[in-house]
Amino acid sequence: EDGIRDRSPSRGLGDVYKRQLIGSGIILLKYWFSVSADEQVKRFEGRINDPTKVWKLSPMDVESINRWEDYSKAKDNMMEHTDTDFSPWYIVESDIKKKSRVNCISHILSKIPYQDIEHETVELPERTPADSYERPSRSRFNYVPEIL
């Protein structure tokens, strides 16, 4: 035993159910997106100060600031009891959202077995623009403003 994982064969009905899922061919991946306390406070402050995001901030979010350690203990306890060799948890460091998402997607893809599929080579023909069509002025249409 490494002190974190209990490597016993089963710890209850949850393990039986997970084994049945996996045995039926389902690829079971469990991810925990880990955000530091400081980053979480920054995100909450960002929501408070942004009228387009304030709706995302719930009373439970506000309360969670004072319960950070309680939630961390509960998460650590859950991990201790549900992280197994046959169905491990994968922790994704998530202070930087884009980086965490790309890392997680890459990890998911690395866990799914696949084989290259042979396919015919596709060649695009050269585009020959039609001389007879003139597009209408852009001013006639409503375009979504580009902010990025």
CA 13 to chain centre: 27
Tokens of 37: 């306390």
Beta bridge partners of 93: 34
> Which residue in this structure is represented by tokens 């509960």?
74
User: Which of the given ranges, 14-28, 56-70, 91-105, 115-129, has the highest pLDDT on average?
Assistant: 91-105
pLDDT reported for residue 131: 81
How many Cβ atoms are within 10 Å of 84's Cβ, its own excluded? Answer: 20
Tokens of 140: 């006639």
**Rounded CA gap, 53 and 121, in Å?**
46
The upper half-sphere exposure of residue 77, i.e. CA atoms within 13 Å in the direction of its Cβ, equals 6
pLDDT reported for residue 11: 63
Mean pLDDT calculated for residue range 83-105: 96
pLDDT reported for residue 101: 97
How large is the C-alpha radius of gyration of the chain? 25
- Residue 4 vs residue 139, higher pLDDT: 139
pLDDT at 3 over 90: no
pLDDT at 1 over 50: no
**Rounded CA gap, 93 and 71, in Å?**
17
* Percentage of the chain lying above the pLDDT 90 cut: 77
> Which residue in this structure is represented by tokens 């009891």?
81
Mean pLDDT calculated for residue range 128-147: 88
Condensed to tens digits (0 to 9), the pLDDT of residues 37-48 reads 999 999 999 999
pLDDT reported for residue 148: 81
The upper half-sphere exposure of residue 92, i.e. CA atoms within 13 Å in the direction of its Cβ, equals 19
Mean pLDDT, the chain, whole residue set: 89
* Percentage of the chain lying above the pLDDT 70 cut: 92
Tokens of 119: 């396919």
